[in-house]
Amino acid sequence: MKRVSILGSTGSIGTQALEVAKMHGMQVTALAAHSRAELLAQQAKEFHPSCVCIFDESKKELLTELLSGEKIEILSGMEGLCKIAASREADIVLNSVVGMVGLLPTLTAIEAGTDVALANKETLVAGGSLVMRAAAEKGVNIFPVDSEHSAIFQCLQGNSMNPVRKIILTASGGPFFGKTTEQLTQVRAADALKHPNWDMGNKITIDSATLMNKGLEFIEAKWLFDLKPSQIEIVVHRQSVLHSAVEFEDYAVIGQMGVPDMKIPIQYALLYPERKACPTRPLSLTEYGTLTFEQPDYETFGCLRAAIDAITEGGLRPCIVNAANEEAVAWFLRDEIGFLQIGELVRAAMESVRGGDVTCYEDVLEADKAARAYVRSRILNK
């Protein structure tokens, strides 16, 4: 059985991954969390990793107290995350941290030659070329955890010799599908946090409401599967049963279906290439009865168009769009800006912040910082 370390263990993906690990008796070598020290300590006492990391340095003392008497090394901050990523104790690192913060740990795991189960989509959006180049050089596997990308990955099994014509990336449409710009002006964080199909963290739930999540996934798919933007079609599929599909040269389309439960893609990434019983439920197609497919509304949901424009232009544009979005979402979650302003700020940052090529990690960091600063100054100087 593979040994796994989990970055982001107290989040939605992390806790479900631990359920999967428990069911299959996987050895958990390390756990890292952002700031939830109590839950992290509880997980550590159950899974006995050799070390734990709390990203928020101010919680280290509390964590140390909670784990006194346990033989567990306690780390903190980015240094701790990277120490776990660099350790050769694990066969696979699950990276499920939120945001650009995940990029350095991903690069560090690849450098150490450890496979990565990737749930941190911002990693590929901001630094896709760096990540994929490093993975190819080191012969490291990147297993997608995102349900759509896992679906595409599953559809490609046994088809490595066959050219892909295009992929069909499905989108739930989020809680505001069908709404007009007018109707969205009054939306507050609390409204956007109610997602119809998926139970997720706050940041990704807002991204689902703005459709930025699909934009980020568009970019993620481009990198993971080496596609041109013109080979990716986004289709709104409200039921989230078809998780995505691949169209081959002969127009045969292979899709992957299942109930909307992240434990299925998480387990596929962790146990690949094996399929085993999963702590979820079976799909009943007759229970759904009808599956629907529609065009996304690129006009109302400006974030989606901005993300596609960014990857079409290339270089640092996707990084700028991602950073501007992360910053804008943080302000929206505090009810300090409106829902539609997220898309406006992302578009403005994409057009105004200096881009250029991605040659190294520092380029990405700098563009990320510049985009965040731009968004902050736009909000504060209004």
Q: Residue numbers of the site for Mn ion (CB under 5 A)?
A: 146-148
Task: Please tell me the distance from the alpha carbon of residue 117 to that of residue 94, in angstroms, as a whole number.
Answer: 5
Residue with tokens 């094996």: 274
**Closer CB to Mn ion, 90 or 151, in the complex:** 151
Least Å distance, CB 248 to Mn ion, is 22
Residue with tokens 């990308």: 149
| CB 84, CB 5: distance < 8 Å | yes
Task: Please tell me the distance from the alpha carbon of residue 76 to that of residue 70, in angstroms, as a whole number.
Answer: 17
Among positive and negative, which fits the CA dihedral 302, 303, 307, 313?
A: positive
Task: Please tell me the distance from the alpha carbon of residue 232 to that of residue 61, in angstroms, as a whole number.
Answer: 47
Residue with tokens 């590929």: 124
**Closer CB to Mn ion, 108 or 208, in the complex:** 208
Least Å distance, CB 146 to Mn ion, is 4
**Closer CB to Mn ion, 49 or 128, in the complex:** 128
Across the beta sheet with 232-236, the strand order is: 232-236, 164-171, 242-248, 253-257
Least Å distance, CB 182 to Mn ion, is 28
Least Å distance, CB 264 to Mn ion, is 12
Least Å distance, CB 233 to Mn ion, is 16
**Closer CB to Mn ion, 74 or 232, in the complex:** 232
163 burial class (0-12, 13-18, 19+ CB within 10 angstroms)? exposed
Distance, CA of 165 to chain centre: 25
**Closer CB to Mn ion, 146 or 326, in the complex:** 146
Neighbours of 175 (CB within 10 A): 17
**Closer CB to Mn ion, 36 or 149, in the complex:** 149
Least Å distance, CB 119 to Mn ion, is 9
Chain residue whose CB lies nearest Mn ion:
146
Strand partners, 171: 236
Least Å distance, CB 147 to Mn ion, is 5
User: Which amino acid is it at 212?
Assistant: M
**Closer CB to Mn ion, 119 or 320, in the complex:** 119
Helix ranges restricted to H, 115-156: 121-138, 147-156
User: Which amino acid is it at 120?
Assistant: N
Give 92's contacts (C-beta < 8 A, 6+ positions apart).
2, 3, 4, 5, 114, 115, 116, 117, 143, 269, 270
**Closer CB to Mn ion, 148 or 261, in the complex:** 148
**Closer CB to Mn ion, 5 or 147, in the complex:** 147
Least Å distance, CB 343 to Mn ion, is 19
Least Å distance, CB 61 to Mn ion, is 36
**Closer CB to Mn ion, 24 or 121, in the complex:** 121
Least Å distance, CB 257 to Mn ion, is 15
Task: Please tell me the distance from the alpha carbon of residue 244 to that of residue 170, in angstroms, as a whole number.
Answer: 5
For the chain, what is the total number of helices (H) and then of strands (E)?
17, 11
Task: Please tell me the distance from the alpha carbon of residue 378 to that of residue 372, in angstroms, as a whole number.
Answer: 10
